[in-house]
Structure 1
Amino acid sequence: MDKINLILILTIVTLFISLFLAFFLLTVQTKHKISNILFAVFLLVTAIDTSHPLFDLGSAGPSNLGMLRTTLALLQVPVFYLYVLSVCYADFKLKPKYLFHLLPFLIANAILLPRFYTVDTASKINFILNRQDMIELQFTHTLIHIQIVAYFVAVFVLLRKVKKLYLENYAGASMTSYNWLFQFTSVLTILYLIVILKNWFKFSDYPYISECIKIVILVFQPFIICWYLYKALNHPGLFRSIDSKLKLTSDLVLEEKNNTQTGVNEKEYNEELLKLQQYMVEKQPFLNPSLTIQDVASDIKVPVRNLSLLINHKLEQHFYDFVNAYRIEYAMDILKDATKSKVTVLEILYEVGFNSKSSFNTAFKKHTGNTPTSYRKNL
């Protein structure tokens, strides 16, 4: 099998899987419709970019449609960024301001108008044959590379903020959602860095290396898409979101310093802390695996803002760790109980409010220095 046939086969496989998943995302009944639509658009734009070998096979030469297909690559990472936003925030809505993300795509096509889109076929052929010297194509490729780096940096900054918001306001499945998004973004980042490397070789003295890298990308793309599909089908709970109106504790502290008149004094904090501790012991809300700081604030009649400052700033603990400490203490009581020696660790973790073995083991070891199994054996 020669290289051309291999590329065509890999392209067809990738296109089939991408289009199948896009169709699934657009037709499946779900409350996360915007997220599904955005990821479907990302898949479709990526599929059009990947279809390059098939497009060339059916094309007699350079065309406006072919160039437009190439510049559509400028829409991939902006759409992915919006997808991550929609997954992170429950109240995400598409707004006119997001049209700003179309700007690089529009600029690139505007620059190509004089010497490609508006000229005859012969001029188009000459443009492509001399592509290494064409400032328009050099600019477009540079823009794509800058865009990839800028958007993925923005995505990781967003995920870092979201992780802090999860830790400060949630004690349930939200961290699993963050971990999945971080893993998926990391894999895509590596893939796009490989794409940058491929494009660099394409305009160097070693274009054949670019073709080899293209095959590597085509091999890995179907696996990444299938991995996403597997996660989406088997763990729909991963795609939960938080409220974008939530503020980081560091921002709340800054507001407190700038507005001392409405700040909460130490006496009020101590009263609220006592109320919180009594509530945690008597009502055991930590047994709820989806507990949020809003739930606790509502039950003990303390403003969310005050409770967030109390736990995350005054106690110097994330809400996530604060709740898990109570869960671990409760789990330790069960492990010490001789009458419950037959209860498995898996049963215990679900009973005390955890929803995964890995998060339970991590929290237990952080709190006690031992794994649950070792702790039970050493009693």
Structure 2
Amino acid sequence: MDKLSFLNSIAVIAVFVSILLAFFLFTVKTENKLANRLFAFFFILTAVDLSGFFVYEFIEGQLNLEVFRWTTCLLGMPLYYLFVLAVCYSDFRLKWKHLLHAIPFLAVNLIFVPRFYLVGDIEKIQFFKLHDQMPEMLIFRFVVEFQYVYYIVGVFLILKKYKDIYLENYANTSFSTYIWLFQITTVFLVAHTIVVLKNLLRYTDFNESFIWANIVVGSVALLITCWFILKALNHPELFRGINSKLKLTKNILPEVEIKAESGTEQNDLIKTQIITLKQYMSEKEPFLDPSLTIQELANQINMPVRDLSILINHHIDQHFFDFVNEYRIQKAMQILKDTSKKDLTVLEILYEVGFNSKSSFNTSFKKYTNLTPTAYRNS
């Protein structure tokens, strides 16, 4: 088997797997159907892009279709960006304004109209022969790279905001959404970097290695897609979105009007609220609920959620996530020191105190005590 045939085989498998994953995302039962559909369309576009390694055999003479296929890559990152929004925010909905994300795709196709789409077959063939040097292609590649950087930065900013809001408002220790999306985005960034380096070979003295570079790119794409399938099969309902209307404490503070007559009265009120909150946490142990949110805790102690968020995240100077987990760790320490409960395993203890992940329990426990749960029990 020669290099080209080997590359075609890898590309065919990668396209098949991408379509298979898209089909899975369309049909799997989940509450977040919008996110799954957006991700499915993303993988369909990925399949269209990867088909370029072998599709030329079937569309001979259909040069308009081939150039149009090139430009569909400009819809990939907008779809991924919208997918991340749909995953992170449970109340996200598509709106007409989101069609603006298609502007680069439309603009690039308009650039090809005068000297490609509207000319005769001879001119099109000539364009294809010299397409690497054509100004339309240089503009197209610039737009692709600029768009990619724009959306990859946008996705990382969304994830940062999601993480900050999650830590201030939720106590669920299963942080899979952020980790999973961060992993995906990082993998995409690495894969795209490989593609860019591969494309640069066109303009160097190593252009004969271009076919091998394509084989590497095709293999990486296949491995990434298989990895997504394994994740999707193991976690058909991966994500738990947060409310996009939630605000960070640093954004709430400037909006809050302090109505106390003096600073002393305000400080006394804050101290009283902190004492009341800590007493409630110790006596009622609401942290035993693994899905406790700041909204639920605010309802239990009859305090506006904005005030409770400021109290914990600003005045106590802890994220709600860390504040709740500290009580869980203290409860776990009591159980580990209790000789009458020595038969309880660490796994049983972590579930009992409100954790739902062994890795997050071990991480939090070591952060608080500098020891693993087992080492703490033995000491």
Q: Which residue number in structure 1 is paired with residue 177 of structure 2?
A: 177
The answer (yes or no) to whether the contact 2:173–2:360 under 8 Å persists in 1 is no
The answer (yes or no) to whether the contact 2:30–2:236 under 8 Å persists in 1 is no
Q: Secondary structure at the match of 1:238?
A: coil
2:29, 2:359 → 1: CA distance? 31
The answer (yes or no) to whether the contact 1:312–1:319 under 8 Å persists in 2 is yes
**For 1:1-379, what aligned pairs fall within 5 Å after superposition?**
1-61=1-61, 63-173=63-173, 175-256=175-256, 259-261=257-259, 265-378=266-379
Deviation at residue 276 of structure 1 after TM alignment:
1.4
> Please, what is the CA RMSD of the aligned residues?
1.7
Deviation at residue 57 of structure 1 after TM alignment:
1.3
Q: CA distance change for structure 1 residues 110 and 192 in 2, over 3 Å: closer, same or farther?
A: same
Which amino acid in 2 is paired with 1:270?
K
The answer (yes or no) to whether the contact 2:21–2:229 under 8 Å persists in 1 is yes
Cα offsets for 1:96-120 (capped at 9, x unmatched) = 1111110110110000000011111
Q: Secondary structure at the match of 1:51?
A: helix
2:348, 2:218 → 1: CA distance? 43
The answer (yes or no) to whether the contact 1:334–1:348 under 8 Å persists in 2 is yes
Q: With structure 2 as the length reference, what TM-score do the two structures score?
A: 0.95
RCO comparison, higher one (Cα < 8 Å, 6+) = 2
Cα offsets for 1:172-214 (capped at 9, x unmatched) = 0452221111111111111111122222223444333333222
Which amino acid in 2 is paired with 1:43?
F
Deviation at residue 29 of structure 1 after TM alignment:
2.2
Aligned length: 376
Which ranges of structure 1 fall in alignment gaps of 5 or more residues? none
Q: Secondary structure at the match of 2:233?
A: helix
Q: Secondary structure at the match of 1:265?
A: helix
Q: Secondary structure at the match of 1:139?
A: helix
The answer (yes or no) to whether the contact 2:260–2:266 under 8 Å persists in 1 is no
1:248, 1:211 → 2: CA distance? 49
Which amino acid in 1 is paired with 2:298?
A
How high is the sequence identity, in percent, across the aligned residues?
48
Cα offsets for 1:120-165 (capped at 9, x unmatched) = 1110111111113211000001110111111111111111111111
Deviation at residue 48 of structure 1 after TM alignment:
0.2
The answer (yes or no) to whether the contact 1:174–1:240 under 8 Å persists in 2 is no
Q: CA distance change for structure 1 residues 354 and 139 in 2, over 3 Å: closer, same or farther?
A: same
The answer (yes or no) to whether the contact 2:3–2:211 under 8 Å persists in 1 is no
1:57, 1:262 → 2: CA distance? 77
Deviation at residue 56 of structure 1 after TM alignment:
0.8
The answer (yes or no) to whether the contact 1:62–1:121 under 8 Å persists in 2 is no
Q: CA distance change for structure 1 residues 138 and 215 in 2, over 3 Å: closer, same or farther?
A: same
Which amino acid in 1 is paired with 2:53?
P
Deviation at residue 64 of structure 1 after TM alignment:
0.7
The answer (yes or no) to whether the contact 1:287–1:351 under 8 Å persists in 2 is yes
The answer (yes or no) to whether the contact 1:166–1:174 under 8 Å persists in 2 is no
The answer (yes or no) to whether the contact 1:176–1:238 under 8 Å persists in 2 is yes
The answer (yes or no) to whether the contact 2:174–2:357 under 8 Å persists in 1 is no
Moved more, 279-288 or 59-68: 59-68
1:115, 1:347 → 2: CA distance? 70
Moved more, 267-276 or 202-211: 202-211
Cα offsets for 1:245-266 (capped at 9, x unmatched) = 010111112323xx44599933
Moved more, 180-189 or 193-202: 193-202
1:215, 1:46 → 2: CA distance? 16
